[in-house]
Amino acid sequence: MSTKKIIVLGGDGFCGWPTSLYLSAQGHEVHIVDNMSRREIDQELNADSLTPIASMDDRLAAWEETGGEKIGFHNIDVAADYHGLRDLIEDIQPDTVIQFAEQRAAPYSMKNETAKVYTVNNNISATHNLLAAIAELRADIHVVHLGTMGVYGYDGDGLQIPEGYLRVYVPGENRDIFQRDILYPTNPGSVYHMTKSMDQLMFQFYAKNDHMRITDLHQGIVWGTQTAETRRDERLINRFDYDGDYGTVLNRFLMQAAVGHPLTVHGTGGQTRAFIHIQDTVQCLALAIANPPAKGEGVKILNQMTETHRVRDLAHLVAEASGAKVEMVDNPRNEAAENDLDVSNKGFIDLGLEPMTLKEGLLTETIEVSQKYAHRCRMEMIPCVSTWTDNQKPGVITQIAAE
Q: Give yes or no for residue 71 binding ligand USQ (CB under 6 A).
A: no
Instruction: Output the CA–CA distances (angstroms, integers) from residue 231 to 60, 112, 226, in the order listed.
Output: 14, 37, 6
Instruction: Please state the closest distance from residue 124 (CB atom) to ligand NAD, in A.
Output: 11
Q: Which residue is at the shortest CB distance from ligand USQ?
A: 150
CA-CA distance, 146 to 153, in Å (whole number)? 17
Q: Give the other-Cβ count within 10 Å of 179's Cβ.
A: 8
Q: Which residue is at the shortest CB distance from ligand NAD?
A: 13
Using the 8-state DSSP alphabet, how is residue 388 labeled? S
Three-state SS at 165: strand
Q: Give yes or no for residue 161 binding ligand USQ (CB under 6 A).
A: no
Q: Give the other-Cβ count within 10 Å of 390's Cβ.
A: 6
Q: Give yes or no for residue 303 binding ligand NAD (CB under 6 A).
A: no
Instruction: Candidates 5, 36, 162, 211: give the one binding ligand NAD (CB under 6 A).
Output: 36
Q: Give yes or no for residue 122 binding ligand NAD (CB under 6 A).
A: yes
Using CB under 6 A, count the residues that bind ligand USQ.
23
Residues taking part in catalysis: 148, 192, 196
CA-CA distance, 255 to 260, in Å (whole number)? 8
Instruction: Candidates 30, 32, 60, 79: give the one binding ligand NAD (CB under 6 A).
Output: 79
Instruction: Please state the closest distance from residue 386 (CB atom) to ligand NAD, in A.
Output: 16
Q: Give yes or no for residue 150 binding ligand USQ (CB under 6 A).
A: yes
What region, left, alpha or beta, does residue 400 occupy, with left being phi > 0 and alpha being psi -120 to 50 degrees?
beta
Cα angle: 119, vertex 122, 123; to 5 degrees: 80
Q: Give yes or no for residue 15 binding ligand NAD (CB under 6 A).
A: yes
Biggest alpha carbon–alpha carbon distance for the chain: 72
249 binds, among ligand NAD, ligand USQ, none (CB under 5 to 8 A by kind): ligand USQ
Taken in order 17, 19, 20, 25, the sign of the CA dihedral is positive
Q: Give yes or no for residue 106 binding ligand USQ (CB under 6 A).
A: yes
Q: Give yes or no for residue 366 binding ligand USQ (CB under 6 A).
A: no
Q: Give yes or no for residue 35 binding ligand NAD (CB under 6 A).
A: yes
Cβ-in-10-Å burial (0-12, 13-18, 19+) of 195 comes to buried
Nearer to ligand NAD, 34 or 327 (CB): 34
Residues 292-331 that bind ligand USQ (CB under 6 A): 311, 331
Give the phi and the psi of residue 264 in degrees, each rounded to 5. -90, 95
Q: Give yes or no for residue 102 binding ligand NAD (CB under 6 A).
A: yes
Nearer to ligand NAD, 100 or 206 (CB): 100
Which residues, in sequence order, are bridge partners of residue 6?
A: 30, 96
Q: Give yes or no for residue 273 binding ligand NAD (CB under 6 A).
A: no
Nearer to ligand USQ, 82 or 242 (CB): 242
Cβ 108 vs Cβ 41: under 8 Å: yes
CA-CA distance, 143 to 130, in Å (whole number)? 9
Residues 372-391 that bind ligand USQ (CB under 6 A): 384
Q: Give yes or no for residue 12 binding ligand NAD (CB under 6 A).
A: yes
Cβ 303 vs Cβ 280: under 8 Å: no
Chain residues binding ligand USQ by CB under 6 A are 104-106, 148-150, 220-221, 248-249, 252, 264-266, 269, 271, 273-274, 311, 331, 333, 335, 384
Residues near ligand NAD, by CB under 6 A: 10, 12-16, 34-38, 77-79, 100-102, 104, 122, 126, 146, 148, 219, 221-222, 239, 248
